[in-house]
């Protein structure tokens, strides 16, 4: 689905409202819908009984002054609507994002969240994400938390990491 499709736009508007509640302001990270067009990105919307209830996507990033590394896939706009949380929808969206980014040849998947989103930090930690050097527009913000994990062949280089094969 396109990042600017009606259901995706409605969910990302809700994400922005969530940021206002938790941090006082919406996310100011520049977002271009074209960045989420395969093969250099992807945006997903999850439906339950025909209603959009979850979303998330990734966009390709490479080495930059903002702190990205070559081969990064940056996760953006992970969200599950209130009342649908705790059902595993975010975990399913995250798994699909990781699989898509790996198939696109990205080496590492990264994300920025914040200290006021402990449930997000818990989800990412439980899925193997670890702290990484801060990146993006919030890299100097004390409430910012940046996490990541290796994908594909890069994951094979991590001792103790079990890589799932088809």
Summarised one tens digit per residue, pLDDT across range 13-50 is 999 999 999 999 999 999 999 999 999 999 999 999 99
Q: What is the CATH number of domain 6-156?
A: 3.40.630.30
Q: Is the pLDDT of residue 101 over 90?
A: yes
Compute the distance between CA of residue 159 and CA of residue 139 in angstroms, rounded to an integer: 28
Residues with Cβ < 8 Å from 159, sequence gap 6 or more? none
* CA–CA distances in Å: residue 59 to residues 55, 83, 108, 120: 14, 28, 12, 19
pLDDT for 154 equals 58
Which tens digit of pLDDT belongs to each residue from 122-142? 999 999 999 999 999 999 999
What's the pLDDT at 162? 38
Across residues 142-153, what is the average pLDDT? Answer: 93
Q: Per-residue pLDDT for 2 more than 70?
A: yes
């Amino acid at each position: 689905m396109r990042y600017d499709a009606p259901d995706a736009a409605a969910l990302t508007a809700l994400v922005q409202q969530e940021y206002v509640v938790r941090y006082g302001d919406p996310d100011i990270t520049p977002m271009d819908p074209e960045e989420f067009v395969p093969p250099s990105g992807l945006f997903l919307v999850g439906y339950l009984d025909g209603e959009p209830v979850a979303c998330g996507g990734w966009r390709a990033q490479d080495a930059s002054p903002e702190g990205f590394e070559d081969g990064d896939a940056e996760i953006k706009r992970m969200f599950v609507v209130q009342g649908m949380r705790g059902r595993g929808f975010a975990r399913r969206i995250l798994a699909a994002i990781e699989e898509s980014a790996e198939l696109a040849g990205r080496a590492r998947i990264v994300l920025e969240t914040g200290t006021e989103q402990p449930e997000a930090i818990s989800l990412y930690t439980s899925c193997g994400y670890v702290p990484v050097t801060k990146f993006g527009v919030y890299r100097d913000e004390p409430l910012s938390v940046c996490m990541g994990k290796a994908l594909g062949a890069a994951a094979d280089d991590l001792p103790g990491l079990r890589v799932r094969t088809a």
